[in-house]
């Protein structure tokens, strides 16, 4: 059969550990068995010299807000072949992106559950989301989950702001989501909202507190409940550096200051306690806190290493661990039969995590993605097509 790509002399991070240098094979849309490289039909084969390079599973960003299909294509050019959108409004945008045909896979929660008078309630008002979309009580919590299930969302997203919903509303959303077999992801960017998210036993908590670091009590509960963390250190850093937020907190002391070190410390503690840490950036186009989709995931990996993850742990957080916790068994690893989502990078990201950004080639579902000149490495001497 045609459509074989053979990558020779390449180090392979299979989602867990490093192997090689060895040969890797793409067969159509799937990762092929290495034996296919032994005696291929030369007319149907592209051979890539991977000397000095490392092959990674396509990266997964588990917290984004995508604007349009062009942004999805941009993600792939940075090696990010799957993204998990964590709030998509209005519904028309959700429907449009649902129909998008690659190159990056888009998962989404559609509209998140939010409280009308919370900080996010104010933001949604500014974004002209009408208040009838807010969740006010436990009955509306049940209806909210049913509505999202009807939209065929991939998971349920909850904004667990503080002040915000009563705990009973958060608890009801978790119960209803479980009834429908849906995973829950909760926005928890402050200590008290994190505490309430743990109490509701949400499956995944995204962001880490920016007001004060987590403590052993909360982290102990996370370990026993098998809670997963998507810290979005990139966003926590952007907010801590924001002069707008600094000004607001200066005028309104109750708003609180952002402390990026507290966010880093929380990740260190969770990692040391064995809480699964999954990579996510909160990439968005809000204007004030904009973060570039795709490109930002490489920065997030650097921040995770700064917080104490080993480079291998950081790589797992954006590949095998992300796939495991977002129920994507067809990706996140390099193994025969899995989806051929792959990124070829220059250097050894298991020793220097910054190497993940040195993208040379990307395949999504076996198709080679276009990499614009501005984010392609100049030194293409190695890893060239033979």
* Tokens, residue 376: 């392609």
Among 113-121, 211-219, 275-283, 352-360, the segment contacting Zn ion (CB under 5 A): 275-283
Burial 149-161 (b: 16+ CB within 10 A, else e): beeebbbbbbbbb
Q: Which of 86, 135, 186, 344 binds Zn ion (CB under 5 A)?
A: 86
Q: What is the DSSP pairing of strand 105-108 with strand 80-85? A: parallel
Query: How many Å apart are CA 131 and CA 19, to the nearest integer?
Result: 53
Total number of residues that touch Zn ion (CB under 5 A): 2
**Burial of 43: CB neighbours in 10 Å, binned 0-12, 13-18, 19+:** exposed
- Site string (27-66) toward Zn ion, x via CB under 5 A: ----------------------------------------
Distance of closest approach, residue 91 Cβ to Zn ion, in angstroms: 18
DSSP output for 68-116: SHHHHHHHHHTTEEEEEES---SHHHHHHHHT---SSEEEE--SPB--T
CB nearer Zn ion, residue 4 or residue 72: 72
CB nearer Zn ion, residue 13 or residue 202: 202
Distance of closest approach, residue 149 Cβ to Zn ion, in angstroms: 21
- Best CA proximity match to 156, nearest among 207, 89, 110: 110
Q: Which of 115, 201, 282, 300 binds Zn ion (CB under 5 A)?
A: 282
CB nearer Zn ion, residue 260 or residue 289: 289
DSSP output for 321-383: HHHHHTT-TTSSS--TTSB--EEEEES-TTT-GGGGG-EEEEEETTEEPP--GGGS-S--SSS
CB nearer Zn ion, residue 11 or residue 120: 120
Query: How many Å apart are CA 363 and CA 104, to the nearest integer?
Result: 10
Does 301 bind Zn ion (CB under 5 A)? Our answer is no
DSSP output for 240-289: HT-HHHHHHHHH-GGG----HHHHHHHHHHHHHHT--B-----BB--SSS
Is 338 within 8 Å of 364 (Cβ atoms)? no
Q: Residue 195 is inside which H or E element, if any?
A: helix 191-199
CB nearer Zn ion, residue 112 or residue 347: 112
Among 28-36, 41-49, 83-91, 288-296, the segment contacting Zn ion (CB under 5 A): 83-91
Distance of closest approach, residue 65 Cβ to Zn ion, in angstroms: 6
Among 208-216, 280-288, 293-301, 322-330, the segment contacting Zn ion (CB under 5 A): 280-288
Among 13-21, 27-35, 78-86, 155-163, the segment contacting Zn ion (CB under 5 A): 78-86
CB nearer Zn ion, residue 278 or residue 344: 278
Among 85-93, 125-133, 288-296, 297-305, the segment contacting Zn ion (CB under 5 A): 85-93
Residue with tokens 């984010």: 375
CB nearer Zn ion, residue 86 or residue 304: 86
The DSSP code for 227 is -
CB nearer Zn ion, residue 63 or residue 172: 63
Of all residues in the shown chain, the one whose CB is closest to Zn ion is: 282
Among 11-19, 68-76, 79-87, 144-152, the segment contacting Zn ion (CB under 5 A): 79-87
CB nearer Zn ion, residue 282 or residue 300: 282
Distance of closest approach, residue 363 Cβ to Zn ion, in angstroms: 28
Query: How many Å apart are CA 49 and CA 275, to the nearest integer?
Result: 38
Distance of closest approach, residue 32 Cβ to Zn ion, in angstroms: 37
Is 175 within 8 Å of 184 (Cβ atoms)? no
Residues in contact with Zn ion by CB under 5 A are: 86, 282
């Amino acid at each position: 059969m045609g459509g074989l790509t053979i990558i020779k002399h390449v180090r392979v991070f299979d989602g867990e550990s490093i192997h090689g240098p060895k040969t890797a094979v793409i067969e159509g849309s799937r990762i092929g068995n290495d034996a296919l490289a032994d005696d291929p039909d030369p007319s149907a084969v592209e051979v890539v010299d991977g000397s000095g390079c490392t092959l990674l599973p396509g990266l997964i960003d588990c917290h984004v807000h995508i604007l349009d299909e062009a942004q999805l294509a941009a993600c792939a050019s940075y090696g990010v072949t799957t993204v998990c959108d964590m709030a998509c409004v209005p519904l028309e945008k959700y429907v449009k992106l649902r129909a998008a045909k690659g190159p990056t896979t888009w998962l989404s929660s559609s509209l998140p559950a939010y409280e009308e008078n919370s900080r996010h309630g104010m933001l949604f008002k500014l974004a002209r989301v009408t208040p009838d979309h807010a969740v006010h009580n436990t009955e509306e919590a049940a209806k909210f989950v049913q509505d999202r299930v009807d939209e065929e969302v991939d998971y349920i997203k909850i904004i667990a702001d503080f002040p915000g919903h009563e705990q009973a509303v958060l608890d009801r959303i978790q119960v209803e989501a479980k009834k429908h077999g849906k995973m829950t992801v909760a926005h928890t960017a402050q200590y008290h909202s994190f505490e309430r998210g743990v109490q509701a036993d949400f499956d995944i908590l995204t962001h880490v507190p920016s007001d004060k670091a987590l403590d052993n009590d909360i982290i102990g509960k996370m370990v026993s409940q098998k809670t997963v963390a998507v810290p979005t250190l990139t966003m926590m850093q952007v907010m801590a550096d924001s002069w707008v937020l600094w000004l607001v907190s200066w005028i309104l002391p109750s708003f609180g200051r952002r402390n990026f070190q507290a966010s880093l410390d929380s990740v260190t503690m969770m990692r040391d306690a064995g809480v699964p840490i999954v990579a996510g950036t909160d990439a968005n186009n809000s204007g004030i806190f904009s973060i570039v989709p795709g490109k930002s995931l490489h920065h997030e990996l650097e921040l995770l290493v700064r917080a104490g993850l080993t480079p291998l742990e950081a790589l797992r957080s954006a590949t095998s661990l992300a796939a495991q916790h977002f129920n994507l068994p067809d990706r996140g690893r390099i193994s025969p039969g899995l989806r051929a989502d792959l990124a070829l990078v220059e250097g050894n990201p298991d020793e220097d995590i910054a190497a993940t950004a040195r993208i040379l080639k990307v395949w999504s579902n076996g198709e080679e993605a276009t990499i614009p000149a501005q984010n392609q490495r100049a030194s293409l001497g190695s890893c060239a097509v033979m």
